[in-house]
Amino acid sequence: MDNSFLAYLQQLELIAFFSGYPLLYAIVVFAAGNQADSNNYKARAVKLLPYAYALVATLFLGFQLKKLYPDYSAAHLKLSMQHPWLVIWGLMAILFWIPALAKKKSLSLIHSLAFFFFLARDLFTQLFASSSNNDLVRNDMRIYTNSLFLNLAAFALLMLTAFLFTWYKKHAGSKS
């Protein structure tokens, strides 16, 4: 089997996990506006963005481990990785679980733009290509939509968790 097909599939995996984050980031930061420094839900939402990105990266790690199962040997790892530097770059997003790194929210955006580049490259190539193959763009848009939903679900889960934690802290403190 040709490695270029496997490399393309791995690139699609990376797009599926990480390329939806820049749009989510833009929407949340735009919705928060100038209130990002205050202590309300919009400000908390902006602060949770890197953690949502780290959650998606953790899910990506789980997906990669599932693909490698049951053989976690170095030889199998080398055979299965077509873009090792991109996979490592994607796994580095797990570092956004560290609060000191998560404080620099723009780093998570910059990190995710590396994967958004592949989507933009495909769209740009399709726009100026002589042959009209709409299947590539349709496939990329489907994967991008799924990525956006995945990132949105991770963000919503963290927002719900933060809300429940705050609510519990407030109500548990009032009963004491």
How many angstroms separate the CA atoms of 14 and 61, rounded?
Answer: 11
Lookup result for tokens 């770059």: 89
Query: What is the tens place of the pLDDT at every residue in 27-44?
Result: 999 998 876 556 678 888
Query: What is the tens place of the pLDDT at every residue in 133-172?
Result: 778 888 999 999 999 999 999 999 999 999 999 889 888 8
Contact 46, 162 (CB under 8 A): no
High-pLDDT (> 70) share of the chain, %: 91
